Amino acid sequence: MEGAGYRVVFEKGGVYLHTSAKKYQDRDSLIAGVIRVVEKDEGADS
């Protein structure tokens, strides 16, 4: 994603994303993933 007008400012692997909005999560509704926080370069187009 870097070089396309964005840069990664934080990255965390080994996280689980909930795919269900229910109050009590089912373990089958979790998927392993990576969280990335990106920042848009000031000179990049919208």
C-beta separation of 40 from 7 below 8 A: no
d(CA 43, CA 38): 15
Region of 40 on the Ramachandran plot (φ > 0 left; ψ -120 to 50 alpha; else beta) = beta
Position 15 in a domain: yes
- In the prediction, which pLDDT does 41 show? 83
Residue 46: pLDDT band (50, 70, 90) is low
C-beta separation of 31 from 17 below 8 A: yes
- In the prediction, which pLDDT does 39 show? 93
Work out how many domains the chain is built from and give that number: 1
Position 45 in a domain: no
Residues in the chain: 46
Domain that holds residue 19: 6-40
Position 46 in a domain: no
- In the prediction, which pLDDT does 18 show? 78
- The HSE-up count of residue 44 (CA atoms within 13 Å, CB side) is 12
- In the prediction, which pLDDT does 13 show? 94
Give pLDDT tens digits for 7-41.
Answer: 999 999 999 887 776 666 666 778 889 999 999 98
